[in-house]
Structure 1
Amino acid sequence: MIQENLRNVAIIAHVDHGKTTLVDQMLKQSGAFRANQQVAERVMDSGDIERERGITILAKNCSCEYNGVKINIVDTPGHADFGGEVERVLKMVNGVLLLVDAAEGCMPQTRFVLQKALQQNLSLVIAVNKIDRPDARIAEVIDEILELLMDLGATDEQLDSPMVFCSGRNGTASYDWTDPSSGTDLKPLFDTILKYVQPPEGEPDEPLQMLVSSVDYNDFVGRMGVGRVQNGVIKVGSPIQVCDWHNPDVHMSGRITKLFDFKANGREPIESAQAGDIVAFAGLPDISIGNTICDPSKVQPLPFVKINDPTVEMTFSVNDSPFAGKEGKYVTSRQIRDRLMRELLKDVALKVEDSATNDSFRVMGRGEMHLSILIETMRREGYELQVSPPHVLTHEENGKVMEPMERVVIDVPEIYQGNVMTALGARKAILMNMQMMNSRSRIEFRMPSRGLFGYRSQFLTDTHGEGIMNTIFDGYEEWCGDIQTRSTGSLISFDTGDAVTYGLFNAQQRGTLIVNAGEKVYAGEVVGYTPTGEDITVNVCKTKHLTNTRASGSDDALRLVPVSKFSLEGCLEFLAPDELLEVTPENLRIRKRILDHDLRMKAASKKNK
């Protein structure tokens, strides 16, 4: 049976190509909000971090109505580190709306998400967005999209997918790319979705089958599963059985206690839903992503796309610095472990393992940003912990060590391309492609993932802030040898106390400081960095020796160079192998693993023997 009055669509694109903004306009123009209702920008980005950074981290569900047809919209993340979200939500939909920036064109993440959609043979609608940009190059971008489709082995039908030209900010769409101002609203986009995206199929008379594609948590009803009903009808109070395609040992039974439909950008309780509907349900506290909800009379699991393995690992441990427990609300290993286990319930691409010690945990994810978002979230919730530098996860094939690789696409002004090529060449990058676009160069490399650690801040310096870098996981290759990812050394505090101007003034002669006067520091804390690559111990707590004699002019105010503070990502990039990052709700402190100066010197001398 086909539900003609329903369409399930996912919006996929590269990061910052305007997915969430376009969804805002679709909801507004379809009448999802009252005329006098105050609506925040980017209604789909509900998290604080999402709004601050302008990126989507978790896949969201919403719906709108157009000409009597309900359109379920799934807004997916565009950053490669959150690709685990993209892969699983595609199981809920019958079509995808591919968004491509009219100026930037096809980027690495566009390739990634489009490949996933083509593999599942989903209907494709292409929207070239931001056509009102002054630097838009629509004709070239159309060619890039067709080249990408052919490169990914698209069928003739997929190559003939319809194109619509939009301005998400203005809420307009048009079939004519030569006249961007011809569109007045999003009617062409709605009409194209209804015409080309297949309505969901399913048999309401068959026993219930539903694949859980996402998991959410609510303080009132507990853990909830989200997915599309494949067959049958799901009702509040009906008994259900749980099974899993990849894990035949999974067997649970229970009842549906609550059922929710997605309405605009919220949820409303319903009593039942049939094949094709996307719903959220409660009643099974141990439900997990990939589980199949079945009628007890016919327990048959649905196939589920396995998520790609993590590529980056960090160690989360209890903070053991001299300032431990002073700034955080949750500081024990049990509290940190419980929080990580709770994150596993929602984040399918994350893995957590207990380490050899009781106070540390191995946390594995899809990239530096994936893990840094988790750290930032925990920090805002009041957790205090320390984390190790990120390093890649390797495996063996035929006796050879294999490491993850990245495809890196860089847009940079032509005058800076030499800086970029020199820096990445030293990090084992191989030049794959290069093309000119007006006064900018687009350079494509393939390089080890670990070669990117610590490079982003250097990249901004090398390109004077004008470069754009995008990366995507690109398989595994044999280990490429040692890579030097950091050329600076550390300025290390010798004493514990308050940093004073006199001590900092003397220390800044040796390098660049990252702490201000008046900040509390401890012995072994990194207070700056040196250009030589060698670690230097300094006493920033040292005060001026008081005497009764003064030379003329000697008491002039000491001037300190303004300090540039690192962000969380900046701290993770800066970390050397023998350093840790102390994370508290109030501060980020870089420190040596061994805090005591003498013990650190002994360990270094043993290593050099």
Structure 2
Amino acid sequence: MIYQISLSNGKERATLKQKMMNLGILAHVDAGKTSVTEQLLYLGGSIRQAGSVDRGTAQTDWLEVERKRGISVKTASSCLCYQGVQINLIDTPGHVDFSGEVERTLGALDCSVLVISAAEGVQPQTRHLWRALEQLGIPTLIFVNKIDRAGCDCEAVLLQIREELGARLFITQTVLQAGMEDCSIEPKDYGGKAREELAALAADLDDAVAELYLADKPIAGELLMQTISDACRQRQLTPVCFGSAKLGVGMEALLQSIIRYLPAAQGSDGAPLSGLVYKVDHDPVLGKGAHIRLFNGCIKSRDPVPLLNSDEPEKATQIRRFNGAKSQSLDILHAGEIAAVYGLGSLKAGDIVGKQPLDRFCPLTFPLLTVQVLPEQEQDLTALAAALQELAEEDPLLDLEWLKEERELHLKITGKIQLEILSELLWDRYRLRAQFSSPSVIYKETPAKTGIGLERYTMPKPCWAVVELKAEPLPRGSGVRFESAIKEKQLPYRYQHHVELSLRDALKQGLYGWEVTDARFTLTGGEHHHVHTHPLDFFVATPIAVLRALTDSGAVLLEPIVRVTLSAGEEFLGKTIRDILQMRGEFDSPAVSKGVFSLEALLPAAASLEYPIAFRSMTSGKGSYYSEFYRYQECPLELGATARRRGIHPLLERSKWILHARSAL
């Protein structure tokens, strides 16, 4: 059903057609994102009273760890209906350690509200989120929150948004009073000179309006507003609203602007099935729940569901729509909707439902640290491994490594706050106590030059697999590429596919024990035997050929570099610059304003691991420090680190490796 919503601008009215939208609420930590969500749910009638983050009563922060800490650590869904439009709200974490949750959620959105604090303005994570929204082309409304805060300057914030985000703004309201408890706003008056400016803006966006404008003919207000609304939905303009979620000021205007200026969900039940798993959780009764944004097709309860990475479909046992911690059962999930589907046991966050790949991902974070997880009680190791496996399905960036022979568990993390949350989740959900080793930086490696590796695995019979690989370095950020220079006649394609699969697994540990990246591996030779060859043989031979190619090429160690933004009193600038130089860092010219400096620098992650604590201590807690992954770059071996080889070394322990790979140990 399509709903008609009438919107007014003075005496003139415009009409939109919208049915449903999937809306993300995004922000830098502490900008008031969850409070905005609570106010929208209250106005939509979904809750009787807006909850409070401080009091632990927020609808979308229902996990015990979220209520205790007053921060969002998991994506949460809720819904409301306003003026006949169903809005599915997705509240995301704001802390940078949980950017992986935001990253997976972005692909499920039709549109978003980016919350910016009027007191702090555009912050580093704000810029990070804006770049991702821009890359994915997600129409966005900016909500300037906390206008009740003393000293806030809305005009200065708007200027900062224009300069730092490069956004072309459409201001929907006028702030009458700000920085006080009785702050107030009103709809922007587009009469007189303001109407002329609006007409010029619309003429720049639409040819029909431009003809009228250039001919100096009157332009109907309905046409002007329709042009502006269309431009906002196409991301040519960014609407801006103001308010205070804490006081409930400007929230209804925000909700009306969401409906007016942001796009609805699109899709057809009759089209081929296509959906994204943006979140996974585990229910103690229903099991694994895959939260799916369905773009096309439909999923019915008890029906088989085809999956992109599986040859066999899996049956949907139940479908539930969530509203915070509460949920209701559905018989069918339609195109454009979001819901949790149970019974799809093989899925993890980020997987695709249907057989059509989706290009809706924008990496926001890269885990730069690794830790070993140890049970408090040795007998809990197996249970701890199972619990971490569930958590890794919910957050694949954890990349759990379970070394059964060494009886070790390893995780990748983005920051120390994430470790604290993991520890609390393990206790709250599984009643398991765990300890974590000190985080160590994740290095990578790449071939130094072209190298060739050959392995002839022909004994002991029955076996026959010959693999020859050429390794070549590629530019930074290229990842790993596999190519084949031989034909089906020389080596059947099914065996070539086995070589590629085995190669990618073997590259998790190079000569220095780190993952190999920025390299091209070309299959230049290969043999099989029509009697003796078994498919497993190429999984035995390939890792040996890979390490021989890397030994021939040599390896270059790569270290992660982070881009940091620092801000503090001008008196700390000299000491900060000295610290950066001591950490082998690079920096841009600092900016100084009103006795406060801001500075951007590139720092080796390993050298700067403890610097956020030192910086805040030096500035007595008044300094601001934000970091994000920037790139990997070459690092002298003596300044970096090598990793202990995990498992059997295929090249140095070839005979033992063959027995291990053939399950003969």
TM-score, normalised by the number of residues in structure 2 = 0.63
Kindly indicate whether the alpha-carbon contact (under 8 Å) linking 2:304 and 2:314 is maintained by their aligned counterparts in 1.
yes
1:432 counterpart residue number: 588
| CA distance in structure 2 between the aligned counterparts of 1:167 and 1:37, rounded to whole angstroms | 14
| 1:355-407 CA distance string (max 9 Å, x none) | 48523222112233333422343355543444322111111245332222222
| CA distance in structure 2 between the aligned counterparts of 1:66 and 1:403, rounded to whole angstroms | 50
| CA distance in structure 2 between the aligned counterparts of 1:346 and 1:51, rounded to whole angstroms | 20
2:163 counterpart residue number: 147
1:358 counterpart residue number: 406
| CA distance in structure 1 between the aligned counterparts of 2:605 and 2:236, rounded to whole angstroms | 32
1:199 counterpart residue number: 264
| 1:415-454 CA distance string (max 9 Å, x none) | 3344433334322332225333434332322212223322
SS of the residue corresponding to residue 452 of structure 1 reads coil
Shift of 1:285: 2.1
1:394 counterpart residue number: 443
Counterparts in 2 of 1:120 and 1:414: CA distance versus 1, 3 Å: same
Kindly indicate whether the alpha-carbon contact (under 8 Å) linking 2:42 and 2:50 is maintained by their aligned counterparts in 1.
no
Instruction: Report whether the alignment pairs 1:316 with 2:365.
Output: no
2:132 counterpart residue number: 116
Paired residue type of 1:369:
I
1:49 counterpart residue number: 65
Shift of 1:151: 9.2
Shift of 1:201: 0.9
2:332 counterpart residue number: 272
1:343 counterpart residue number: 391
Paired residue type of 2:599:
I
1:257 counterpart residue number: 317
Instruction: Report whether the alignment pairs 1:208 with 2:273.
Output: yes
SS of the residue corresponding to residue 92 of structure 1 reads coil
Kindly indicate whether the alpha-carbon contact (under 8 Å) linking 1:318 and 1:360 is maintained by their aligned counterparts in 2.
no
Instruction: Report whether the alignment pairs 1:225 with 2:239.
Output: no
Paired residue type of 1:49:
V
Paired residue type of 2:383:
Q
Spell out the pairing of 1:165-204 with structure 2 (5 A cutoff): 165-173=242-250, 186-204=251-269
Counterparts in 2 of 1:165 and 1:291: CA distance versus 1, 3 Å: same
| CA distance in structure 1 between the aligned counterparts of 2:324 and 2:406, rounded to whole angstroms | 46
| CA distance in structure 2 between the aligned counterparts of 1:482 and 1:20, rounded to whole angstroms | 46
| CA distance in structure 2 between the aligned counterparts of 1:5 and 1:127, rounded to whole angstroms | 23
2:98 counterpart residue number: 82
| CA distance in structure 2 between the aligned counterparts of 1:318 and 1:278, rounded to whole angstroms | 37
| CA distance in structure 2 between the aligned counterparts of 1:37 and 1:86, rounded to whole angstroms | 22
SS of the residue corresponding to residue 401 of structure 1 reads strand
Q: Which moved more, 1:456-465 or 1:226-235?
A: 456-465
SS of the residue corresponding to residue 59 of structure 2 reads coil
| CA distance in structure 2 between the aligned counterparts of 1:331 and 1:166, rounded to whole angstroms | 54
| 1:64-121 CA distance string (max 9 Å, x none) | 1111111111111222221111111111111111111112222221122111111111
Q: CA RMSD in A?
A: 3.0
Shift of 1:218: 0.7
Size of the aligned set, in residue pairs, is 453
Paired residue type of 2:566:
I
| CA distance in structure 2 between the aligned counterparts of 1:482 and 1:65, rounded to whole angstroms | 61
| CA distance in structure 1 between the aligned counterparts of 2:151 and 2:607, rounded to whole angstroms | 32
Structure 2: gaps (5+ residues): 3-16, 169-203, 206-230, 449-555, 644-665
Kindly indicate whether the alpha-carbon contact (under 8 Å) linking 2:167 and 2:237 is maintained by their aligned counterparts in 1.
no
| 1:196-243 CA distance string (max 9 Å, x none) | 211111112224332212111111111011121111222212222222
Paired residue type of 2:634:
E
| CA distance in structure 2 between the aligned counterparts of 1:407 and 1:457, rounded to whole angstroms | 17
Kindly indicate whether the alpha-carbon contact (under 8 Å) linking 1:402 and 1:477 is maintained by their aligned counterparts in 2.
yes
Paired residue type of 1:349:
L
Match 1:285 to one of 345, 367, 372: 345
1:160 counterpart residue number: 237
Kindly indicate whether the alpha-carbon contact (under 8 Å) linking 2:583 and 2:607 is maintained by their aligned counterparts in 1.
yes
Instruction: Report whether the alignment pairs 1:474 with 2:630.
Output: yes
Match 1:4 to one of 18, 26, 32: 18
Kindly indicate whether the alpha-carbon contact (under 8 Å) linking 2:132 and 2:362 is maintained by their aligned counterparts in 1.
no
Paired residue type of 1:378:
L
Residue identity over aligned pairs, in percent, reads: 27
2:563 counterpart residue number: 407
Counterparts in 2 of 1:445 and 1:48: CA distance versus 1, 3 Å: farther
Shift of 1:40: 4.9
1:22 counterpart residue number: 36
Paired residue type of 1:394:
Y
| CA distance in structure 1 between the aligned counterparts of 2:72 and 2:573, rounded to whole angstroms | 30
| CA distance in structure 2 between the aligned counterparts of 1:482 and 1:454, rounded to whole angstroms | 20
Shift of 1:481: 8.0
Spell out the pairing of 1:29-40 with structure 2 (5 A cutoff): 29-34=43-48, 40=56
Shift of 1:35: 6.2
TM-score, normalised by the number of residues in structure 1 = 0.68
Kindly indicate whether the alpha-carbon contact (under 8 Å) linking 2:287 and 2:342 is maintained by their aligned counterparts in 1.
yes
Match 1:305 to one of 354, 361, 366: 361
Counterparts in 2 of 1:35 and 1:26: CA distance versus 1, 3 Å: closer
Match 1:58 to one of 58, 74, 77: 74
Kindly indicate whether the alpha-carbon contact (under 8 Å) linking 2:568 and 2:619 is maintained by their aligned counterparts in 1.
yes
Kindly indicate whether the alpha-carbon contact (under 8 Å) linking 1:259 and 1:279 is maintained by their aligned counterparts in 2.
yes
Shift of 1:9: 0.9
| CA distance in structure 2 between the aligned counterparts of 1:404 and 1:300, rounded to whole angstroms | 34
Kindly indicate whether the alpha-carbon contact (under 8 Å) linking 2:62 and 2:324 is maintained by their aligned counterparts in 1.
no
2:382 counterpart residue number: 334
SS of the residue corresponding to residue 243 of structure 1 reads coil
SS of the residue corresponding to residue 29 of structure 2 reads coil
Paired residue type of 1:31:
G
| CA distance in structure 2 between the aligned counterparts of 1:197 and 1:53, rounded to whole angstroms | 33
Counterparts in 2 of 1:193 and 1:446: CA distance versus 1, 3 Å: same
Instruction: Report whether the alignment pairs 1:131 with 2:131.
Output: no
Write 1 or 2 for the structure with the bigger share of helix.
2
| 1:467-488 CA distance string (max 9 Å, x none) | 222222222223278789xxxx
Kindly indicate whether the alpha-carbon contact (under 8 Å) linking 2:116 and 2:126 is maintained by their aligned counterparts in 1.
yes
| CA distance in structure 2 between the aligned counterparts of 1:31 and 1:142, rounded to whole angstroms | 31
Kindly indicate whether the alpha-carbon contact (under 8 Å) linking 1:65 and 1:71 is maintained by their aligned counterparts in 2.
yes
Kindly indicate whether the alpha-carbon contact (under 8 Å) linking 1:410 and 1:468 is maintained by their aligned counterparts in 2.
yes
1:103 counterpart residue number: 119
Paired residue type of 1:81:
D
| 1:6-62 CA distance string (max 9 Å, x none) | 111111111111111111111112211236999954332222332333322111111
| CA distance in structure 2 between the aligned counterparts of 1:379 and 1:471, rounded to whole angstroms | 29
Counterparts in 2 of 1:20 and 1:433: CA distance versus 1, 3 Å: farther
Shift of 1:282: 0.8
| CA distance in structure 2 between the aligned counterparts of 1:306 and 1:21, rounded to whole angstroms | 26
1:373 counterpart residue number: 421
| CA distance in structure 1 between the aligned counterparts of 2:557 and 2:274, rounded to whole angstroms | 42
Paired residue type of 1:315:
Q
Counterparts in 2 of 1:52 and 1:477: CA distance versus 1, 3 Å: farther
1:239 counterpart residue number: 304
SS of the residue corresponding to residue 451 of structure 1 reads coil
2:605 counterpart residue number: 449
